[in-house]
Structure 1
Amino acid sequence: MKNLKYIYISLGILAFTACNDPEDVDLEPEVIAEAPVELNAGSADFSTYVSLGNSLTAGFTDNALFKAGQANSFPNLLSTKFALVGGGSFTQPLMNDNVGGLLAGGAQLEGFDPRLVFFSGNDEQSAGPVPLAFLNSEATVTTDIILNNPTGPFNNLGVPGAKSFHLLATGYGNAANLEAELANPYFVRMTGATPDAKVLELAMAQSPTFFSLWIGNNDVLGYALSGGDGSNPITDKATFDSAIGALVTTLTSGGAKGVMANIPYVTSIPHFTTVPHDPIDPNENDFAEQVPTLNRVYGALNQVYDALGETERMVVFSDSLNNAVVIKDEALADISAQITGAFNANPNFPIFVQGLGLPEAAAPLVATLLGNAYGQTRPATENDLLVLSSSQVIGKVNQESFAALSAENLPPAVAGQFSVEGITLPLADKWVLTPEEQDEIKAATDEFNATLSSAASGAGLAFVDANRLLQDLAQGGVTDGDFTLTANLVTGGGFSLDGVHLTARGYALMANEFMKAIDATYGSNFEASGSLFNIGNYPTNYSPALQ
């Protein structure tokens, strides 16, 4: 069975500009000039501003941290406005290049890769995000957490990957803890001569007069990004509540004012909404020609499902309509033994096995393999969310499955035929968020957001409903000036190529929301004075040539 690729992102940039229909007007109206409103800080003191958070605070975009992205981080943008009303300098732990990725003693750190860029497509490959090296072979990672860390103190203490409790963790920036996965390489770059310092300690050492705190996304996002497979669990509520309480109490202990933001729903993020549940196009890669063979195999399984009253698990592929992927759903009862037993008891099963090109004697083995493979599977539905990275595996042969089946003495052709991701090999839990897993995430997000809102209110802090803003992006878009941003991957302008983090334009939009919240709480007038950002001045895409 051929490798398949089904995910296509159409290319197009939509610009929205204001226009007016013709109407009767005075061609020479009297112009009355309004006196400009002078910008003021209200009761806020921006002289020493520190920002705490995760990747969204650091300026992470296109699946990496790099200098241009950091320059357009929302805290750095805010600092330029704060400087107009008494704000001081704002220092960031800048990366060494615009490539992204991290080294440790010259060796590439696994999972810390260069940024993604946009590929416009050709006859052989569809348009979409690709690794930088695909379009720029000269791009080189130069940021080394052992050899060339910057010198602090740093006002931007956004640490990509950090959860709420990590901001209070001793040793989170100590390189000696990396092997045990108790340290964060990005924070190693910030701790300098005090490797065991906590993020919060580095913030308080600067005696902040104003702070921003946007944390908690990773407390649920880690679970979502892993498809809810349990490898990155949701933070328990007691730990989250304790961390937020400690952070807010400490940050305000010296009289500092500040602004907080809450956690978006995963359904607002294109990382979970771009890949459809039915991406298999019968017109691509000769799939339609394979449908009869696939339906013959699944037909045998469907008879068992039907007999067991499990009709929702039945799979029938179409040669004319888009097809849903087959997924493993751990919420389903495991009927592996029943499938195996039914095949072994069926006198016609050996004939079926022979039709696969296998000897009759292989029937018991094949019955067991089919039972193990399809005991908890079903076609995906529109209620399932496939993670963006699943687009890279759907329709491709899973080499681990191929090796395992080959080890059972199945011929290579058969082993490959039963190892095609999402078609003959059900997609593993890590690629899919089922409705049950989505409910877990939403429940936790709601609980955490209640904690964040209560903490901000109790301390008299400004509050940004980032969850509402990103829902609006996903539900029609948000217009700011002459531009409308949506949550569509690539074309929407709000989210970067990783489908999780914002573009520079998205961060400018977020900075405006922070300023509006500060105005509402502290009596400043960033909005009324016309000091908000024109988001059109900020890019939605970075060139592959940028190094």
Structure 2
Amino acid sequence: MKIFNKLIFLMVLGSFVACTYEFPEPQIDQPTSGSADFTKIIAVGDAITAGFMDGALYNRGQQSSFAIKLAEQAQTIEGGDFNVPDINSVNGFFQMGPQGPLGRLILTVNPQTGAAGPAPIGAGELPGDFTGNKAELNNFGVPGITLATALIPQTGGPNVPQNPAYNRMYERFASDPGSSTIIGDAATALANGGTFFTFWLGNNDVLGYAVGGASNPAILTSDTDFQQRLGAALGAMLQANADAKGAVANIPGLAVLPYFNLVPWNALPMSQAQADQANQGYAQYNGGLTLARTAGLITEEEEAYRKIQFQAGQNGFVMEDESLTNLGALGLPSIRQSKPTDKATLPLSQALGQTVGGNPALIRGVSFPVEDQFVLIPTEQEEIQQKIATFNGFISAAVQANAERLVLVDVNDLLNKVLAGQVASGGVGLTASIVPPNGGFSLDGVHPNARAHAFVANHFINAINGKWGSNIPLVNPNEFMGNDLPR
């Protein structure tokens, strides 16, 4: 049975209207750096610091990083140059295609359905070597890194073909590929006349696990490892220059990311004939659940939760759920239909309803259960949110332990306000979506777009100004575009 050829999620063109967290107009006071010094700013972080967006690191995104915006604003109060390892790529690298590298994501319109969704722009480029002066770099943001990979030399070692983009992201500008480390290079730059730094690491210590549907527990950083690695990385920056001050950002929550909200739980459309045919295939499974309940193996509630029943219209998809009672002895798999409490990941938009292995009898979400890596069930969501809260507690404690030199930039709070529709500039809101013009996330559903980076830069600036009595002027976010309109 063939449900449809390709699912592209339908974006709801709407936005929040209640805006209570209005960024003020730029200051006009006499410029001053207060008790901080912005002569040479060093930024260390992951993809956001690098300016990664739309699933790729490319020229326009790289130049839109909050780190660059912050440094440019600091130049009005005697801040210095801010050099980045230029990617020199118009479209960047999103993934490999049949004819070679494909570039960043853009919004495209399906001519059959009229629905808009992200797709690669076309030809892209693998990251090339940085040919500038590595000793003059200020931005050490590297997409895909965790606290661990920021501290080990293997991150900048020889390229691994299985992941050609991320393995090149640091290698291309490492001071000594295979021997140097991201934190080591950033600390060296700070020691060499640096006066201020931004530090935003830790996102990928939980995000990598989340975007994979919590299917690989081995990549979720333990509490002990996170705390130790945070101490090592942040300590290296603090020790590099005893006079330098810094701003440290925390980890945004899961709920704000469109990556987990764009594919609805009931994303499977069916006609009555298709539903009837699918229901016949699950009659034996449903009957087995009834037997399991009468035998006392599961409760009546779990039987109802697990039973699979399709109808004409939009349906939940069949999915794996390892939290269900194991009925393998009865030959019953741990499957059920998706519920409103589940969060599907963005890649499911392309996989749902497709045949598996070219077998027309195996349709993902109908006759073949959606795999674990495509969905976060409620217990996994709770686990991830608890991890984020714990990790943010460690970050806050580290900042408090060095309160004279560090300030916390609570990006988690900022993005929660964005989610609630409470952030705006000049009366123009910022939304937790990819929908232009107000959507604040790029088309990968995870990383901010250029306009949102301006709001993030202002959040850093407000924290810095409040801490050290400086008056770095704010950015006007409305001077920067969000996502391009669909093509």
Flag whether TM exceeds 0.5 (same fold): yes
Counterparts of 2:99 and 2:152 in 1: how far apart (Å)?
A: 23
The structural deviation recorded for 1:151 is: 3.7
Correspondent of 1:117 among 94, 103, 106? 106
Written as runs of structure 1 = structure 2, the 5 A alignment for 1:307-322 is 307-309=291-293, 310-319=303-312, 321-322=313-314
CA change 1:11–1:381 in 2 (3 A) is closer
Counterparts of 1:121 and 1:395 in 2: how far apart (Å)?
A: 16
Bigger Cα Rg = 1
Q: Which runs of 4+ in 1 moved over 3 A?
A: 5-8, 10-18, 107-113, 148-151, 176-181, 192-195, 542-545
Structure 2 residue 440 is the aligned partner of structure 1 residue 505: no
Written as runs of structure 1 = structure 2, the 5 A alignment for 1:118-517 is 118-124=107-113, 126-133=115-122, 139-141=123-125, 143-145=127-129, 149-153=131-135, 154-175=137-158, 184-193=167-176, 195-206=178-189, 207=191, 208-230=194-216, 233-253=219-239, 254=241, 255-282=243-270, 287-309=271-293, 310-319=303-312, 321-339=313-331, 371=332, 375-399=333-357, 402=359, 416-417=360-361, 419-460=362-403, 461-491=406-436, 492-517=438-463
The structural deviation recorded for 1:541 is: 2.1
CA change 1:270–1:544 in 2 (3 A) is closer
Counterparts of 1:395 and 1:142 in 2: how far apart (Å)?
A: 31
The structural deviation recorded for 1:247 is: 2.1
CA change 1:176–1:437 in 2 (3 A) is same
Q: Report the number of matched residues.
A: 461
Counterparts of 1:476 and 1:54 in 2: how far apart (Å)?
A: 26
- The residue type paired with residue 184 of structure 1 is N
The equivalent residue for 1:534 is 476
The equivalent residue for 1:352 is none
Identity of aligned residues (%): 32
Task: Name the Cα RMSD after superposition.
Answer: 2.8
Q: What are the Cα deviations for residues 424-449 of structure 1, in whole angstroms up to 9, with x where unaligned? A: 11100000001111121111111110
Bigger RCO (CA 8 Å, 6+ sep): 2
Structure 1-normalised TM-score? 0.79
Residue pair 1:174, 1:191 contacting (<8 A) in 2 also: no
Residue pair 1:326, 1:426 contacting (<8 A) in 2 also: yes
Secondary structure of residue in 2 paired with 1:190:
coil
Counterparts of 1:243 and 1:112 in 2: how far apart (Å)?
A: 34
Structure 2-normalised TM-score? 0.88
Which one has a larger percent strand, Structure 1 or Structure 2? Answer: 2
CA change 1:450–1:279 in 2 (3 A) is same
CA change 1:58–1:303 in 2 (3 A) is same
Secondary structure of residue in 2 paired with 1:191:
coil
The equivalent residue for 1:93 is 85
Q: What are the Cα deviations for residues 4-43 of structure 1, in whole angstroms up to 9, with x where unaligned? A: 244433474869899xxxxxxxxxxxxxxxx941121111
Residue pair 2:156, 2:168 contacting (<8 A) in 1 also: yes
The structural deviation recorded for 1:300 is: 2.3
The structural deviation recorded for 1:268 is: 1.2
Secondary structure of residue in 1 paired with 2:268:
coil
CA change 1:73–1:172 in 2 (3 A) is same
CA change 1:421–1:234 in 2 (3 A) is same
The equivalent residue for 1:9 is 10
Counterparts of 2:414 and 2:72 in 1: how far apart (Å)?
A: 23
CA change 1:459–1:109 in 2 (3 A) is farther
The structural deviation recorded for 1:394 is: 0.8
Unaligned runs of 5+ in 2: 20-26, 294-302
- The residue type paired with residue 477 of structure 2 is I
The structural deviation recorded for 1:224 is: 0.4
Residue pair 2:107, 2:116 contacting (<8 A) in 1 also: yes
CA change 1:306–1:7 in 2 (3 A) is farther
Residue pair 1:178, 1:185 contacting (<8 A) in 2 also: no
Residue pair 1:223, 1:230 contacting (<8 A) in 2 also: yes
CA change 1:544–1:47 in 2 (3 A) is farther
Unaligned runs of 5+ in 1: 19-34, 134-138, 340-370, 403-415
Q: What are the Cα deviations for residues 194-223 of structure 1, in whole angstroms up to 9, with x where unaligned? A: 541111221122222100001101000000
Counterparts of 2:391 and 2:99 in 1: how far apart (Å)?
A: 31
CA change 1:109–1:226 in 2 (3 A) is farther
Counterparts of 1:518 and 1:170 in 2: how far apart (Å)?
A: 32
